[in-house]
Amino acid sequence: MPDNELALKRIAELARLDLTDEELATFESQLTPILKHIDTLSAIDVDGVEPTAHPTPVYDVMRADTTRPGLSTAAVLQNAPESAQDQIRVPKVVDAS
C-alpha cells in the first residue's frame, strides 16, 4: 500500500531512522494490520464517554510513613569485608588521571 509506505517513511524520518528497503518492506507488512485496527477503533462512537487513563479506578495503597530504628554501626560493619574509622572500605573506583 503506497499510503502505508509514505506513513512508514514519515515515522522513520521523525524517529531519525535510516531504514533500508528491506526493513521498510518488513515494517510495512507489520504496520498495515496496526493501521487497520486503528481505523476500526476510530469508527467507534465515543461521544459522551469520559476519557480515562485506566479502565478501572486506581488507588494508591501505601503504608504509613513511620520511623524505625536502623542497624547499629557494629551490625553494619560485622559483614563488611574491610572497615576503617567505623566505615566500610571499598576499592578505589575513580582514576585520578
Q: What does the pLDDT read at residue 13?
A: 92
What are the tens digits of pLDDT across the range 37-57?
988 999 999 899 888 888 888
User: Which residues, listed in sequence order, are joined to residue 84 by a DSSP beta bridge?
Assistant: 87
Alpha carbons 71 and 84: distance in angstroms, whole number? 18
- pLDDT tens sequence across 78-93: 989 999 999 999 988 8
Q: What's this model's pTM, rounded to 2 decimal places?
A: 0.40
Q: What pLDDT band is residue 2 in, cutting at 50, 70 and 90?
A: low
